[in-house]
Amino acid sequence: MSTHTEHQAQQGPEPLDVNDPRLSRFDVVQEGARRDDIEIVHYEPQVAPGSKAERRLTRTVALMFLLTGAFATAFLVVYIWWPWQWEPGAGGDKLYTPLLGVTLGLALLGVGFGILTWGKKLLPKEVSIQDRHDQVDNPEDRKITGETMLYLADEMGVRRRPLLGISLLAGLAPVGAVAAAPLIGGLIEQPHKNNQMFTTGFHPAEGGRKIRLIREDGRPIRPADVSVGGQLTVFPGIDGGVSNLHADSPTLLIHLREDDAQKSRAANERKGHGDYMWGNYVAYSKICTHAGCPASLYEQQTNRLLCPCHQSQFLITDNAKPIFGPANRPLPQLPIEVDEEGFFVAKSDYTETIGPDFWERP
């Protein structure tokens, strides 16, 4: 064999002109594969175009995508219109979260099974092996790449199977709306309705009636009910005061020792809260100013209140100032006194916003 023949054998067949109009799209794809040293080991369509099997699989995939769209739409309907505010007893509000989970889960299952069925049953089976190599691209490489992308689109069969494209659009459009719903959901309802971001259950009732501090069982609290160094979780004495309807209202009532009470009173006066305590009793919100967890682990020897979620610590004798952890704002203090019957009442609502920071917080 001559040297020229040996060289041709090593280089393989002469490259095709990819701009030749006689070449099909698949011919261009094959030429691109050969130039990239790709060996197509196996290539086999799984179903014949136009066959009963193809039509059956197309309907199956389309049904999955349409079910995806239906469940995603159901999620949006529940998210926007289903009653979500807590009400006593059995009611539709108890189904709000489960319905969101079920509809979203079924929508994701539908699109997942639809894509898997499409890929496993309708797309051709192909096994290719490619050697790694570096080379500078050229216009013909760009032509080959473009034709390869278009060929892949053809192989997906959307043009030949319009039902797939329609069902894919109908299924994934509501899924996109589901992803956007939490971002725009807060714009649907006025967040400042009834000034709810700035008031709690301790806001004085009509006529200026002050709200009593009560236990979880609804009983009002006298000073003698809390021992020295002890603490008690209290709630506003109103309808639903111990329920999730007033989840921003749980408060920690603490009976400080004499020396600690003096330190706390001095710290209150420095902040302009000189009349917030009653005797040696002080009350602070239990809602952590970091992430809204219940800060309820009180260590009476050090007068520190610990939030178990992220380990923020608040010094009760210094206006509940954060001294450790991620919280960067003191716990709000509730002004308290004792009414004519000897029960604790809130002199007013909290004068600072409860819980984590938000955009409009002063």
The pLDDT tens digits of the residues spanning 54-104 come to: 889 999 999 999 999 999 999 999 988 888 877 777 888 889 999 999 999
Q: Is the pLDDT of residue 130 over 60?
A: yes
Residue 218 lies in a domain: yes
Contact of 252 with 305, CB cutoff 8 Å: yes
Mean pLDDT of the chain: 85
pLDDT at 343 over 90: yes
What per-residue confidence (pLDDT) applies to 153? 67
- CB-based contact 188:80 (threshold 8 Å): yes
CA dihedral 275, 196, 103, 105 (to 10 degrees): -40
Whether residue 198 is contained in a domain is answered as no
Q: Is residue 335 within 8 Å of 275, Cβ to Cβ?
A: yes
- Going by the DSSP 8-state scheme, the letter that residue 184 receives in this structure is H
What pLDDT, on the 0 to 100 scale, is given for residue 155? 66
Q: Which residues contact 333 (CB under 8 A, 6 or more apart)?
A: 268, 273, 276, 282, 283, 284, 285, 319, 320, 350, 351, 352
Query: Is residue 254 domain-resident?
Result: yes
How many degrees, rounded to 5, is the angle at CA 25 between CA 24 and CA 26? Answer: 90
Tell me what pLDDT residue 8 has: 46
- 114 and 244 fall within a common domain: no
C-beta separation of 110 from 64 below 8 A: yes
In a domain, 243, yes or no: yes
Residue 209 has pLDDT above 60, yes or no: yes
Q: State which amino acid sits at residue 305.
A: L
User: From CA 188, how far away is CA 165, in angstroms rounded?
Assistant: 32
Question: Which residue in the block uniquely carries the two structure tokens 């019957």?
Answer: 341
pLDDT at 125: 85
Q: Which of 97, 123, 149 is the last residue in one of the domains?
A: 123
Residues 249, 281: Cα–Cα separation, whole Å: 18
Angle at alpha carbon of residue 188, lines to 182 and 193, rounded to 5°: 115
244 and 337 inside one domain: yes
pTM for the whole structure: 0.58
Biggest CA–CA distance in the chain, Å, is 118
pLDDT at 9: 46
Burial class for 58, CB neighbours closer than 10 Å (0-12, 13-18, 19+): buried
Domain containing 87 equals 52-123
CB of 213 closer than 8 Å to CB of 345: yes
* Within a domain: 136: no
Question: Could you tell me which of 217, 249, 248, 251 has the C-alpha nearest to residue 232?
Answer: 251
pLDDT at 206 over 50: yes
The answer to whether residues 213 and 100 belong to one domain is: no
Higher-pLDDT residue of 200, 29: 200
Q: What is the DSSP string of 244-264?
A: GGGTT--EEEEE--HHHHHHH
Q: Which residues pair with 346 in a beta bridge?
A: 336
Regarding whether 210 and 99 lie in a shared domain, the answer is: no
CATH number at residue 323: 2.102.10.10
Mean pLDDT on 245-255: 94
| 336 and 224 together in one domain | yes
Does residue 244 sit within a domain?
yes
Distance CA(177)–CA(326), nearest Å, equals 34
Indicate the residue type of 63.
L
Query: Cα(35)–Cα(355) distance, rounded to whole angstroms?
Result: 64
Q: Are residues 96 and 218 in the same domain?
A: no
Least confident span in 67-81, 140-154, 251-265, 275-289: 140-154
Where is the domain boundary, 106, 123, 140? 123
Band of the pLDDT at 6, cuts 50, 70, 90?
very low
Do 360 and 213 form a contact (C-beta atoms < 8 A)?
Answer: no
Residues 203-227 have a mean pLDDT of 94
Query: Does residue 61 lie within any of the structural domains?
Result: yes
What's the distance, Cα to Cα, between the start and end of the chain in Å? 90
Same domain, residue pair 213 and 338:
yes
Number of domains in the chain: 2
pLDDT (0 to 100) of residue 304: 96
Residue 158 lies in a domain: no
Could you tell me if 215 and 337 lie in one domain?
Answer: yes
Q: Which of 123, 147, 171 is the last residue of a domain?
A: 123
Question: Which structure tokens are listed for 28?
Answer: 């261009």
